[in-house]
């Protein structure tokens, strides 16, 4: 402190409450969402993606080796690391993250049947799935 003797530092004698970090986080269920309807629609969408992919794969077989690449829309800000880990557990890999962590993410799937993804959607649609919300 000798070299900064010209700076007058006042002693602060009060207790300062430390800033607490937010807890938990996680995903929030959008208002008005019916989980069963959402999961059934998402499973149907996944089946449509798979069906369209199969058609394209057959059409271009021999010329191209297509990979199941598609985009998903994220309607709330999520932690890219945690969400990518969640997707990786379903054999889905993130290629591009949307700005502000919400919007469209480009992903590809190792499993062209999207089996693990559809299983998670089925669990989510059950009354006690995703914390029962």
Domain chopping of the chain, boundaries = 34-132
Whether 89 and 120 have beta carbons less than 8 Å apart is answered as: no
Q: What global pTM score does this model have?
A: 0.56
Reply yes or no on whether the pLDDT at 80 is more than 70. Answer: yes
Express each pLDDT in 21-32 by its tens digit: 665 556 677 778
Express each pLDDT in 44-56 by its tens digit: 998 898 888 888 8
Number of other residues whose CB lies within 10 A of the CB of residue 77: 11
Euclidean distance between CA atoms 14 and 43, whole angstroms: 57
Number of other residues whose CB lies within 10 A of the CB of residue 125: 19
Euclidean distance between CA atoms 66 and 121, whole angstroms: 25
What is the SS3 assignment for 105? strand
């Amino acid at each position: 402190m000798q070299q900064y003797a010209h700076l007058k530092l006042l002693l602060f004698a009060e207790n300062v409450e430390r800033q607490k970090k937010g807890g938990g986080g996680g995903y929030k269920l959008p208002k008005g969402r019916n989980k069963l309807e959402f999961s059934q629609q998402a499973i149907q969408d996944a089946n449509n993606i798979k069906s369209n992919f199969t058609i394209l794969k057959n059409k271009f077989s021999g010329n191209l080796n297509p990979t199941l690449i598609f985009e998903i829309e994220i309607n709330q800000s999520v932690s890219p690391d945690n969400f990518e880990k969640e997707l990786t557990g379903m054999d889905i890999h993130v290629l591009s993250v949307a700005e502000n962590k919400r919007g469209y993410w480009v992903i590809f799937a190792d499993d062209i049947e999207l089996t693990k993804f559809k299983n998670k959607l089925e669990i989510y649609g059950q009354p006690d799935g995703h914390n029962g919300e």
